[in-house]
């Protein structure tokens, strides 16, 4: 079963004062199975963030079709998809626990510090007093960790992560990977936008490569290599660069 299926998605932004209008998406197709971790990669301006905004219903598409679990996105349940950008879930004026309480209460869930939540804070090395001070006093890495803890704790069916590894140290990245994998085993579907191809190659089941608003290659790494006639053991970074070079010719 597909968690997300998109066909021919287009999105243009009109010219506004000094901002030149542009076509951000130009017929994008996407298929992500339920419980899959899917990586979206591409250069800056390729349409990655625009696509995730459409999938989370924070932006309307101009053309095309998007289905969530077989239902048109226009009829998708509220709160079914969670999009997480840099510090996007949190208020820097609140503490880690206050942020989590606010988000859970806003979702209609009772807040209590469960063993699972305590374990998450411990894993990201956010100890005792650091859970009760405003986030603006914490490092960027700790802010991003709290952002991810909130995302995991909200338990949405589809989670869209935009640059989740930014500001995280090596240890926190490993914790992040472990927690995403753990959530995947519970049936949660992830779409991850990142420029860190080494991490994506470790964690993702499939990929979409975007260029100038189009999906120019997609599937598992093996499938991408096969359809582009690359050696089957070509690593993701090399496959990506070669696909991109062909598209630019």
pLDDT digit string, tens, across residues 167-182? 999 999 999 999 999 9
**Residues 225, 232: contact at Cβ < 8 Å?**
yes
Residue 248: pLDDT over 80: yes
For residue 192, what are its two tokens?
């991850």
Element of type H or E holding 153:
helix 140-153
- Summarize the confidence of residues 86-100 as an average pLDDT: 83
Rounded percentage of the chain residues whose pLDDT exceeds 70: 96
Residue 153: pLDDT over 60: yes
pLDDT digit string, tens, across residues 17-52? 555 567 899 999 999 999 999 999 999 999 999 999
Residue 221: pLDDT over 90: yes
Residue 90: pLDDT over 80: no
Sheet holding 63-68, edge to edge: 22-33, 2-13, 63-68, 71-72
Most confident of 72-81, 112-121, 172-181: 172-181
pLDDT digit string, tens, across residues 133-145? 899 898 999 988 9
Residue 35 φ then ψ, to 5°: 80, 10
Instruction: Tell how strand 71-72 and strand 63-68 pair up.
Output: antiparallel
**Residues 89, 151: contact at Cβ < 8 Å?**
yes
Instruction: Tell how strand 189-193 and strand 158-162 pair up.
Output: parallel
Residue 159: pLDDT over 90: yes
**Residues 213, 51: contact at Cβ < 8 Å?**
no
For residue 156, what are its two tokens?
């949405």
Helix (H, G, I), strand (E, B) or coil at 218: strand
What integer pLDDT is reported at residue 15 of this predicted model? Answer: 64
pTM, full prediction: 0.90
Element of type H or E holding 191:
strand 189-193
Most confident of 50-64, 88-102, 201-215: 201-215
Measured from the Cβ of residue 37, the count of other Cβ atoms closer than 10 Å reads 23
For residue 75, what are its two tokens?
């009829």
Instruction: Tell how strand 22-33 and strand 2-13 pair up.
Output: antiparallel
β-sheet bridge partners, residue 5: 31, 67
What integer pLDDT is reported at residue 77 of this predicted model? Answer: 75
49 vs 54: CA distance, rounded Å? 9
| The residue to which tokens 């503490």 are assigned | 95
């Amino acid at each position: 079963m597909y968690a997300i299926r998109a066909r021919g998605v287009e999105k243009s932004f009109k010219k506004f004062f000094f901002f030149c209008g542009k076509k951000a998406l130009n017929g994008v197709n996407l298929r992500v199975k339920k419980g899959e971790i899917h990586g979206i990669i591409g250069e800056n301006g390729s349409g990655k963030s625009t696509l995730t905004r459409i999938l989370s219903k924070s932006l309307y598409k101009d053309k095309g079709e998007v289905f969530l679990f077989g239902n048109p996105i226009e009829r998708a349940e509220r709160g079914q998809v969670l999009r997480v950008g840099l510090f996007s879930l949190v208020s820097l004026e609140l503490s880690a626990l206050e942020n989590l309480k606010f988000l859970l209460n806003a979702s209609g869930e009772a807040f209590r510090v469960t063993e699972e939540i305590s374990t998450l804070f411990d894993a990201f090395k956010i100890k005792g007093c650091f859970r009760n001070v405003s986030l603006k006093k914490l490092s960027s890495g700790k802010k991003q960790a709290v952002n991810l803890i909130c995302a995991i704790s909200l338990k949405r069916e589809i989670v869209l992560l935009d640059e989740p590894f930014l500001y995280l140290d090596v240890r926190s990245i490993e914790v992040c990977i472990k927690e995403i994998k753990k959530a995947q085993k519970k049936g949660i579907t992830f779409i991850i936008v990142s420029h860190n191809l080494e991490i994506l190659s470790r964690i993702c089941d499939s990929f979409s490569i975007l260029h100038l608003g189009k999906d120019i290659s997609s599937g598992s790494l093996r499938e991408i290599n096969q359809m582009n006639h690359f050696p089957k053991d070509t690593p993701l970074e090399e496959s990506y660069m070669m696909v991109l070079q062909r598209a630019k010719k």
